[in-house]
């Protein structure tokens, strides 16, 4: 097995792009990414909320017909 190390950067959106020829056509490859933890200042919850809010799978929730509940519905939960 051959190891290839590539130093690259992410773009302003955090996407990684690799332009490196490996001379293997239509082959299965395995990519291992190691991230330097000392630069890990990402707020995981903020990243999660940003990701799901821009995911088109949840676009149906923007439909006004989905707003079937209000703050006055139901009874208070006091546990």
User: What pLDDT, on a 0 to 100 scale, did the predictor assign at position 40?
Assistant: 59
User: What pLDDT, on a 0 to 100 scale, did the predictor assign at position 24?
Assistant: 78
29 in any annotated domain: no
Q: Report the C-alpha gap between 22 and 25 in whole angstroms.
A: 8
Burial track 34-45 (b if 16+ CB lie within 10 A, e otherwise) = eeeeeeeeeeee
Domain that holds residue 48: 38-66
25 in any annotated domain: no
- Tens-digit pLDDT profile for residues 11-56: 888 888 887 777 878 888 787 877 766 655 667 888 888 888 888 8
30 in any annotated domain: no
Query: Tokens 């395995």 sit at which residue?
Result: 30
User: What pLDDT, on a 0 to 100 scale, did the predictor assign at position 32?
Assistant: 81
User: What pLDDT, on a 0 to 100 scale, did the predictor assign at position 1?
Assistant: 57
45 in any annotated domain: yes
């Amino acid at each position: 097995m051959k190891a290839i190390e590539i130093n690259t950067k992410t773009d302003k959106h955090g996407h990684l792009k690799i332009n490196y020829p490996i001379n293997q056509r239509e082959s299965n490859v395995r990519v291992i990414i190691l991230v330097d933890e000392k630069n890990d200042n990402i707020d995981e919850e903020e990243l999660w909320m940003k990701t799901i809010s821009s995911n088109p799978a949840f676009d149906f929730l923007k439909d006004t017909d989905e707003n079937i509940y209000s703050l006055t519905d139901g009874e208070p939960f006091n546990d």
